[in-house]
Amino acid sequence: MSKAREAVREHAALVKEIRQHDRLYYELSQPSISDAEYDALFQRLKEIEAAHPELATPDSPTQRVGGRAAEGFAKSRHLRPMLSLDNAFEEADVIEFDRRIRRFLRLAEDEAIAYTAEPKIDGLSANLLYRRGELAGGATRGDGMVGEDVTQNMRTIADIPRRLQGKDVPELIEIRGEVYMSHAEFERLNAEQEAAGKPVYVNPRNAAAGSLRQLDPAVTAKRKLHFFAYGWGEASAVPAPTQWGMLDLLKRFGLPTNPLGRRVGGVAEAIAFYREIEAGRGRLGYDIDGIVYKVDRLDWQERLGFVSRNPRWAIAHKFRAEQAETELLGIDIQVGRTGALTPVARLKPVFVGGVSVSNATLHNEDEIHRKDIRVGDRVVIQRAGDVIPQVVRVLTDKRPRGAVPFVFPERCPACGSHAVREVNPRTGRADAVRRCTGGLVCPAQAVERLRHFVQRDAFDIEGLGEKQIQALYDWGVVMQPADLFTLAERNRRAHPPLQEREGWGEVSVANLLAAIEARREIGLDRFIHALGIRHVGQATARLLAQNYGSVRHWLASMKAAADHDGEAWSELNAIDGIGEVMAEAIVDFCIEPHNLRAIEALLAQIRVADFEKPATGASKVAGLTVVFTGTLETMTRDEAKARAQALGAKVAGSVSKKTDYVVAGADAGSKLAKAREAGVKVLSEREWLDLIGA
């Protein structure tokens, strides 16, 4: 599995676990783990997201501040729940939203619904409680019912008035809004963090959340946070009849409201507003991730009510992937755990989609050539929510003079082995992915290969799970398969020996060494399978073992097949069940000098038993090469092949000088003709069954 995929998997598991603990804590008030344990899970999640920012999607626990009241903050119950919004991604979803409301309110077809259209600020929502116009409390959203009491920190935000102005101020009102951080402040803060050797924040939203949740309000005060009010919760009076009227009132109370918000007469105007804001959002200086439409009339809002935790009267129309222009500083080649070489664009950092992006995927070498991406180019990149940033296109008119087409390496940057692209024999086209062939030695693939090597269908060494292999590899103790068989000897002289390292003990080490010792002799089919050659599973390994008999003969034959056209190559391809792509992969593997060295080192330690042929005399066809053709009557062709192989025969897919028998069923075609031509003995199905004594 690639590192990225592994991160995705671990991330998903952690999110699930944290959500379960949140539920236990909030809904059932029965936490099953300590705060410290919870924090450790949370910390790990943050680490993964720091390394893979694309995983920090808005629904990740890290993105919802107050997912759990942090130690040090008192809990604060909102007087009215803080709800969330349903999302629309397409304009059609917005039109449907408008229709739904019309149906619900039984409005006439031609009666337009007025909405407020407000930028959706990408920060964290907050609840401010004002009593008699005085700021009496401030809390994060938490789970929507209970948040963290961050009153002292809220007081440090300059945008938030301590006292509301005007004569209509209700006796009590909960103000709902978004705390956010500007791009400029985010950059400043991260530079400061970096200089102090502290972790940097992945995006302004995280930075705002982290800053608001500081235990020391003096720290929050130093981070310049901002606030926009967009609504209210509990209120002793709601003095205006519309959303727009209320926003205007909030502004007159002295609360900051977003200046871009607008009252629109209907859904068409709402969408026009969306397009206008989307086009200019890169210049705002803070992140917004969509437009929120809210039915303007409050009496209609009341009638519409809620579905589960979302109001029926509002929707968030999310923006598409944000694009930005930057410079391509270089192209790195990363090697995945399966040997795939992936080009990665190294970019001059640029702010896009809420994070600073300095890497983007280039997919594969064809993509680089198709888009003619050259180092030094100005490129347009895009990032959409949870998607890895991509290079969309090159601005060729801005290409610097002297920029040369990119030459994709034909050697693995991790181990120097040759890297190849498989050719599909049917289409003649090369696979998009170039792969390292140095499976046994490549550090990028080592752990994966060692794992395969010891698994049950291969060397079957017990006591070596992924964790142990990773540890042995990281300590430099086992770098390639042969090292397993010298481990006992080296461990005697090691400082510290394995049994003294964390996670290992006398018994587990003794058991492991015994398990390794027990595998110094192995059958050829298992041996071949253990090498982890691309496309070679257990069945293919068995075919190879059966066909070549001994490890030396097999290796020599593969070397001889490297010319791709002599007899050795034909013999390999003639094995029924081995196609050209497989044959190519096997030969590529066996001629790579790095692999050969690793195999020789291994062979110096172990004995590979020749493939066991059925005892002589047990079968008249043992060792003979048979080709089946045409339709058989008493069994399928696969069945016939399996039976022949069980009796020690080699089954070939095509007729050659080496063929001993061609078994011809009904409607046999060219193979039969070729057999006759070459003078190969042809048997009917009946004759074959007699021969094998069936």
Distance between CA atoms of residues 323 and 326, nearest Å: 10
593 Cβ contact list (under 8 Å, min separation 6): none
| Residue 53 DSSP symbol | G
User: Which residue number places its CB atom closest to ligand IVH?
Assistant: 125
Residue 315 CB, nearest distance to ligand IVH (Å)?
10
| Residue 429 DSSP symbol | P
Residue 172 CB, nearest distance to ligand IVH (Å)?
19
Residue 309 CB, nearest distance to ligand IVH (Å)?
9
Beta bridge partners of 525: none
Structure tokens at 142: 């938490």
Q: Which CA distances in Å does 283 have to 184, 505, 523?
A: 12, 60, 67
Do the beta carbons of residue 82 and residue 178 sit within 8 Å? Answer: no
Residue 310 CB, nearest distance to ligand IVH (Å)?
7
SS3 47: helix
Max Cα–Cα distance, the chain, nearest Å:
110
Residue 372 CB, nearest distance to ligand IVH (Å)?
41
73 or 230: CB nearest ligand IVH:
230
**Beta strands, E only, 538-684:** 607-609, 625-629, 650-652, 661-664, 681-684
Residue 314 CB, nearest distance to ligand IVH (Å)?
5
Task: Tell me how many degrees the CA angle 300-305-307 measures, rounded to the nearest 5.
Answer: 140
Beta bridge partners of 327: 378
Sole residue written with tokens 């090691």: 494
26 or 688: CB nearest ligand IVH:
26
141 or 542: CB nearest ligand IVH:
141
- Output the CA torsion 221→222→223→226 (10° steps): 40
264 or 314: CB nearest ligand IVH:
314
Quote the distance between the C-alpha of residue 138 and its chain's center: 38
Provide the pairing of β-strand 419-423 with 681-684: unpaired
298 or 568: CB nearest ligand IVH:
298
225 or 644: CB nearest ligand IVH:
225
Residue 357 CB, nearest distance to ligand IVH (Å)?
23
Residue 141 CB, nearest distance to ligand IVH (Å)?
6
Distance between CA atoms of residues 440 and 598, nearest Å: 7
Quick count: other Cβ atoms within 10 Å of Cβ 459?
Answer: 24
290 or 439: CB nearest ligand IVH:
290
Half-sphere exposure of 426 (CA within 13 A, CB side): 1
User: Pick the catalytic residue: 3, 75, 120, 398?
Assistant: 120
257 or 645: CB nearest ligand IVH:
257
Task: Tell me how many degrees the CA angle 247-251-252 measures, rounded to the nearest 5.
Answer: 115
Do the beta carbons of residue 345 and residue 379 sit within 8 Å? Answer: yes
| Residue 376 DSSP symbol | T
Handedness of CA 280, 323, 59, 181 (dihedral sign): negative
Distance between CA atoms of residues 479 and 154, nearest Å: 54
Tell me the one-letter amino acid at 341.
L
Phi then psi dihedrals of residue 72, to 5 deg: 100, -25
Residue 286 CB, nearest distance to ligand IVH (Å)?
11
For the chain, state the CA radius of gyration: 34
Binding site for ligand IVH (CB under 6 A): 83-85, 118, 120-121, 125, 178, 230-231, 292, 311, 314, 316
Distance between CA atoms of residues 535 and 584, nearest Å: 10
Is 46 part of the annotated catalytic residue set? no
354 or 532: CB nearest ligand IVH:
354
233 or 416: CB nearest ligand IVH:
233
Residue 14 CB, nearest distance to ligand IVH (Å)?
22
Q: Which residues are catalytic?
A: 120
